[in-house]
Amino acid sequence: MYVEYVRICTNKVSIIIRHKQLERYMINKIEELLAEIEAFTPQNSADVEAFRIKILGKKGALGALMEEFKSVPAAEKRELGQRLNHLKNVATERINTLKEEIGNAAAMNAAKIDDMTRPGSTESVGSRHPISIVKQEIESIFSRLGYTVADGPEIEDDWHVFSALNFPPEHPARDMQDTFFIESNPDVVLRTHTSSIQVRTMERQKPPIRVICPGRVFRNEAISYRAHCIFHQIEGLYIDRNVSFADMKQSLLYFAKELFGEQAQIRMRPSYFPFTEPSAEVDVSCSICGGKGCGVCKGTGWLEIMGCGMVDPNVLKYNNIDPNEFSGFAFGMGIERIAMLKYGVGDLRLYFENDVRFLNQFESAL
C-alpha cells in the first residue's frame, strides 16, 4: 500500500512538473515570436507572404502552439489563451501594415519618371454636350447684336408664366401648353417657357431692353424623336422706341445665317401667341436634307425653329411700360431643335441618354 501511494504521488508530481514545463515553454515561445515579429523587415511582398505563412499559416508557429495549448490544464488556460490571442493580433496587424507599406512604395516607384525626355501619355479628352455647345453659340451670335443674358427660376408662379404675358384667367390659350402644376399649390408651376424671365427683366429694368433668356423648361408632352417633356429654350426680347417688325425679321435672318451658314433661308408664317401681336412662326431651310424633304422636316424642306412677334401692348402695360412710347419684339426657340438642324441629329432623345458614343462625336466642336 505504501509503495503504491508513493508511486501515485510521484506520478502526480511528474505531471505537475510537465505542465509547468509546458507552460514555461509556451510563454517563452510566445515572447520569442513577438520579438521576431517586431524585428521582421521584408524586402518585398513575397517576403511578407512567406512570413505570414510561417507565423499564421495552418502549419505555422501559432498553429503549433494552439496544439500544445490543448494539453494545458484548465487552471492555466486563461492566461495562456490571452497571450496566444495577443500574439495573433500583433502578428496580423504587423503583416497588414507591412503589406500596405510595400504596396504604397511600389505605387510611388511606378509613378516615377525614369526618362524626363520621354513624351507624355495621351489623355482622353471629354466633350461638351451638344446642347451646351449650341446654347453658347446662340448667345454669342446675339451678343454681337447687343443682347445680354438674363436668368430666372425654373419653379415659377402663375403671374410670371401666364398672367403678365396676357393670359387671362380661363383663357383657352392656357391650354396651348400642357403645364406641370404643383399639386399642393396650383399657383406654382414648372415654367413652360423662358418668357417668365422676360417678365422679370421688364419688372426690374426700364427700356431700352435687349436680352436673351436661355433655360430649361417643362411641358407634359409625350416623348418622341421630335418632342420631350423636358427641353431647353432661348427667348429674346427687344424693347425700345420705334422698334418694327422689319427689325425683327432682319435680326432673325442674321441669326439663321450665322448659325446655319450663308445658304440658310427663313420664312415667316402667321401664327398666334397671347403675348405678341402680330405673331409668326419662323421656319429655316432643313439642313439635314438640303430642302429636299426628309422625315425630320416631314417632307417639306423646312423645319420650324421658333415663334416670334411684336410685343402685345397689354404685356407692356402689365409691366409698367408705356406702349405709346415704346414697342418691341420677342422670339423663342428650342435649343434641341436647333442642334438637330446644325448637327444632323435625327432623334432628340439622344440628347438625354448620355451615350458616350454619341457625345464623343462633339469633341471637335469644343
For residues 141 and 208, state if they share a domain: yes
Note the pLDDT tens digit of each residue in 143-184: 999 999 999 998 998 888 888 888 877 766 566 557 887 777
Note the pLDDT tens digit of each residue in 130-149: 899 999 999 999 999 999 99
Give the Cβ contact number of residue 71 at 10 Å.
10
For residues 162 and 287, state if they share a domain: yes
Find the distance separating the first CA and the last CA of the chain, reported in whole Å. Answer: 108
272 CB-near residues (< 8 Å, 6+ apart): 173, 279
For residues 182 and 235, state if they share a domain: yes
CATH number of the domain to which 336 belongs: 3.30.930.10
How high is the mean pLDDT of the chain?
A: 83
Which of 18-27, 304-313, 349-358 has the largest mean confidence? Answer: 304-313
For residues 155 and 63, state if they share a domain: no
For residues 36 and 158, state if they share a domain: no
For residues 141 and 106, state if they share a domain: no
Is 241 among the domain residues? yes
- For residues 307-321, give the mean pLDDT: 94
Q: Which domain holds residue 71?
A: 2-111
Is 352 among the domain residues? yes
Is 264 among the domain residues? yes
Note the pLDDT tens digit of each residue in 224-240: 777 788 889 999 999 99
Under 8 Å between Cβ of 336 and 228: yes
Is 324 among the domain residues? yes
For residues 231 and 344, state if they share a domain: yes
For residues 9 and 91, state if they share a domain: yes
For residues 19 and 69, state if they share a domain: yes
Under 8 Å between Cβ of 212 and 150: yes
